[in-house]
Chain A
């Protein structure tokens, strides 16, 4: 079956611009979560969506937002970009819910954002 697909894979923006990243989860997975990965901080949790609702959110400013559509596809948006937003943004999908193993995350290859 198809894996988690993230688009675009690479993008370059300038400070002050905004960016939207897309994530298509594995078919049947209802949970989509987003992460920021930088060499200095490692992987950091941004937020998680389940059935179009944000269930949990990490410690990121309000410039970082997301949404999930009825087909479980998700987008994240970063507004007023700063140099420090340069990172690899990873999306992961999982079954979600209470079932054992429901939190097995399947990651996409990521979207590498460079802010100039």
Chain B
């Protein structure tokens, strides 16, 4: 069964600090991995996409890494801001039946305090 596990479940940090969120997956066949940010009351928004051959990708203060051998990904947030408070969801896609089938992690809830 395809699964995506995220840790920690929740995290509280002070503004300006860095943090790292983890995503472990057992999805086969693997197509790509995306990190989404979901603000309260909104739909998720894509932050990064990682394919099998990519080890690291940055989007501003967000840097995602992927180790396809160990099936692990991380999302590092640098110099956190209050607006980073959100749920971060790891999604691993398989390509099946002509479309991408996503398997979602349950997310990490990040709270950034001033």
Contacts and interface: CB of A to CB of B under 8 A. Distances in A.
Interface residues of A, number: 25
B99 A45 contact: no
A56 B89 contact: no
B64 to A, nearest CB: 15
Main secondary structure of the interface of A (DSSP, over half): strand
B96 A105 contact: no
A49 to B, nearest CB: 10
Interface string A39-76: 00111110010100001100000000000000000000
Interface stretch (B12-20, B54-62, B71-79, B102-110): B102-110
A31 B45 contact: no
B43 A4 contact: yes
B46 interface: yes
A92 B104 CA distance: 14
Nearest to A41: B106
Given A42-B89, A42-B107, A44-B104, A56 B97 contact: yes
B114 interface: no
B29 to A, nearest CB: 14
What's the interface size class on B, roughly? 20 to 34
A104 interface: yes
A20 interface: no
Given A42-B89, A107-B44, A56 B99 contact: yes
B32 A45 contact: no
B46 A48 contact: no
Interface in B35-54: 41-46, 49
Contact of A55 (B32, B99, B105, B107): B99
A96 B97 CA distance: 12
25 contacts: A35-B104, A41-B106, A42-B105, A42-B106, A43-B44, A43-B91, A43-B107, A55-B98, A56-B96, A56-B97, A56-B99, A56-B101, A96-B99, A101-B49, A103-B100, A104-B49, A105-B46, A106-B46, A107-B43, A107-B44, A107-B45, A108-B43, A109-B42, A109-B43, A110-B43
Interface of A: 4, 31, 35, 41-45, 48, 50, 55-56, 90, 92, 96, 101-110
